[in-house]
Structure 1
Amino acid sequence: MSKSWRGNHVLNNDLFEEIELIFNEFLNKNLTDTTQYSKLREKIHQELEYGSGVFVHCSEVLKCLDKNKFQEIFNKFSLWLGVPAAINKQGDYIKEVSDTGVKDSLINPQRGHMTNQELAFHSDRADLTILCCWSQAYKGGVFRVRSAIDVVRGLEEKYPEIKTLLRKSIAHDLRGEATLHYCYIPILTTQKNNFVFRYIRKFNDSVIRHGVHLSEEEKKLLDLIDSEINIPSSYAEIRFEKGVIAIVNNHITLHMRTKFENSIDKKRCLFRCWLSSEFTRELPESFMVIFHDIRAGQPRGGIK
């Protein structure tokens, strides 16, 4: 069973030297025999799937590289770790997360990774999200991760009546990235002892553009979830600088980003990839529309 946690202690790991070693392998040659690193790969996935759901590493190797080589090593590491899922309709599986000048809104949705806006706590449409910082912003852009298991425990202790509502399907905007305009999926699924928490409130709120209105009960539920998620000091906080990698499990954690500002010589740029692997859990049947496969351990997620 995955862990409930609070605070920055979850960011600690003892795999620094092993990960730096494999980065050097990627840098100096095309690594074809990965069997010697299979235990390291499994350790990372065990922490992501059965532990805290978050893994952070600050690489000294990556800090010394130019942008092309940096992206190349990130690409190799991502492909070694899992199976990539398309991050847009064009089929890209690695994209820069940087400000392109667009603004997201409920009526005119834009991809959050293309803006400099604050992104509230949410989960992505993939089993794992991996981010690696090439350059940090002049100001802001702090990355935070929250344990979804801790959020649910807090809510159910304070509001016992919320248990049913959390597991009830709610309208979810597909943002023009599927054949349907919207679907209905639960925020929380705990069937067969399998914890899956999917929360991205702006996707619930923006169904209004399709003529769908959330009930007052549903709006109150979302307000209570937001309040619990944002309890001060409950989340882990990561300040991205060059070489910092963060990996999160989207079924048991939530992540957010504060608004950021760039300057002439400091412009925030991360590389992002969505992944699945043979370690992933079974998903509820209603997730088929957003994950394209719900079986455990199968390539899935992303945008078709």
Structure 2
Amino acid sequence: MIHANRCAAWTVDDLLASQDWIVTLDDRAAADLARAVRKAADPDKTLFDYTRSDFDLGGADAPIRAAMKEVRDGTGFAVLRGLPRAALTEDEFRLLTWAIGLHTGVARPQGKASQFLSAVRDAGTVYRSAGGRGYSSNADLDFHTDGADVVLLTCYNVARAGGESRVSSSVTAHEMLRAERPDLAALLHQPFYFSRQQEQAADEGPFYPNPIYDERDGLLFSKWNRNRLRSAQAIAGVPQLNARQHEALDLLDEILRRPAVMYSMYLKPGDMQILNNHVTLHSRTEFEDHDDPALKRCLFRLWLAPPDGVALPESWRPAYRSVEAGSVRGGIVGQGYDDARRGFEARQAAELGMRLAA
């Protein structure tokens, strides 16, 4: 198997040797973003009322596009530094995240409430529960992929301690698996079953099948979330994992955390981390938050279907609904998916020349 994008098979040493994956905005670009958000902000508008034309990214447009190109064709992730955090309120920074998304793809819903933009903060969620979600807890998270092609995470406030971000290449992990245990690597190309964490839409079941790895057009894709796999084991109709499957999954998680494979970083206020979920996996360490509500850890998470998204393996269809290149796909449709959301998707897809899923 030859992977067409060799840059996605990186190690920590590779990232340290070449830092093309870090893109920094200059002062003019940051000022352009702050100006665009302040000009467009309207308290009477919902996120779905805004359009791309409301936000002139100015000097930030080219660096943002460079970061997105790195995510698609390079390492599979990028850090965009220098967003105007100090110049904006929390609500304005949230809107800035949305504005960047309007210029780079179609936002995807993220949960039971069909929210298209999530605040990543400790809301007391129990991560390891039937309906648990990591973004609303302070827990140490398993390595996982999110449910869309690309995830953008913008940092507004950091925790008092902890909350370190970790990223590993799923392509590198697969190469190591094949070299060390080809029998177990082959198992990960077979279907596994994942819980929808009680957030399924009316036309969806409580779980879905998806291999951990699959291929299409010379590209390797990964999808992995141990928490959802563990939850699915308690759902009627889900086949129970056997010993060899457990062994394969345990080895994958061990490889992902090896020092040569796992890159660790602390996001700073004004940073945006962008991840290609098909070739990277990410996690986060447990954190201890501030007592002052104004200082508590806060990031904003946006899931995107980009207009230049490649075709996905057919086995991704139960999770993504569409696997065609350049289509609006992925996300957690949830139970609040209404006409306002449908209308937003149709308008944004038309602006970007993308196809809506059937």
Q: TM-score, normalised by structure 2?
A: 0.78
Instruction: Answer yes or no: is 1:177 the counterpart of 2:203.
Output: no
Tell me, yes or no, if structure 1 residue 270 matches structure 2 residue 299: yes
Contact 2:209-2:318 at 8 Å conserved across structures: no
Range 169-178 or range 292-301, more displaced: 169-178
Deviation sequence 1:39-80 (CA, Å, 0-9, x none): 555433321111111110222522332212212212211211
Residue identity in the other structure for 2:296: K
Q: In structure 1, what is the equivalent of residue 244 of structure 2?
A: 217
Amino acid at match of 1:225: L
- 2:310, 2:32 → 1: CA distance? 27
Aligned-residue identity in percent: 26
For the structure 1 residues 60 and 102, does the alpha-carbon distance in structure 2 shift closer, same or farther, using more than 3 Å as the test? Answer: closer
User: Quick one: higher RCO (CA 8 Å, sep 6+), 1 or 2?
Assistant: 1
Compared CA separation, residues 37 and 100, structure 1 to 2 (3 A): closer
C-alpha distance in structure 2 between counterparts of 1:77 and 1:191, whole Å: 29
Which of 301, 306, 314 aligns to 1:285? It is: 314
What's 2:162 paired with? 140
Deviation at 1:268, TM superposition (A): 0.9
Q: Return 5+ residue gaps in structure 1 as ranges.
A: none
Q: Aligned pair 1:5/2:15, yes or no?
A: no
One-letter identity of the residue aligned with 1:279? D
Q: RMSD across aligned C-alpha pairs, in angstroms?
A: 2.3
From 154, 174, 183, give the equivalent of 1:161.
Answer: 183
Q: Distance in 2 between matches of 1:245 and 1:37?
A: 13
Residue correspondence of structure 1 range 58-97 to structure 2 within 5 A: 58-59=81-82, 61-97=84-120
CA, structure 1 residues 205+6, in 2 after alignment: closer, same or farther (shift >3 Å)? same
2:238 counterpart of 1:229: no
Contact 1:205 1:214 in 2 (8 A): no
Q: Which moved more, 1:242-251 or 1:21-30?
A: 21-30
SS at match of 1:184: strand
Separation in structure 1 between the aligned mates of residue 138 and residue 260 of structure 2, nearest angstrom: 24
Distance 1:55 1:231 in 2: 21
Q: For structure 2, list consecutive stretches of 5 or more residues without a partner in the other structure.
A: 41-51, 334-358
Out of 10, 15, 33, the position equivalent to 1:23 is 33
The one of 272, 282, 293 equivalent to 1:245 is 272
**Structure 1 residues 15, 261: closer, same or farther in 2, change over 3 A?**
closer
How many angstroms apart in 1 are the aligned matches of 2:135 and 2:23?
Answer: 30
What is the letter of the counterpart of residue 233 of structure 2?
A: I
Pick the aligned partner of 1:47 from 54, 70, 73. Answer: 70
Q: Runs ≥4 in structure 1, deviation > 6 angstroms?
A: 33-38
Q: Which of 171, 178, 181 is the equivalent residue of 1:149? A: 171
Are 1:194 and 2:219 an aligned pair? yes
1:186-223 Cα shifts (integer Å, max 9, x gaps) = 11112321221111112222222114321111111111
Matched residue count? 303
1:204 aligns with 2:209: no
Q: Which residue of the partner structure matches residue 128 of structure 2?
A: 105
Range 226-235 or range 125-134, more displaced? 226-235
Q: Check the 8 A contact 2:36/2:57 in 1, yes or no.
A: no
* Whole-angstrom CA distance in 1 between matches of 2:271 and 2:184: 37
Is the Cα contact below 8 Å between 1:129 and 1:248 reproduced in 2?
A: yes
Aligned-residue offset at 1:169: 1.0
* In 1, Cα distance between equivalents of 2:266 and 2:63: 25
Whole-angstrom CA distance in 1 between matches of 2:327 and 2:101 = 16
- After superposition, the C-alpha distances for 1:155-214 in whole angstroms (9 at most, x for unaligned) are 111112234212111122222223212222111112321221111112222222114321
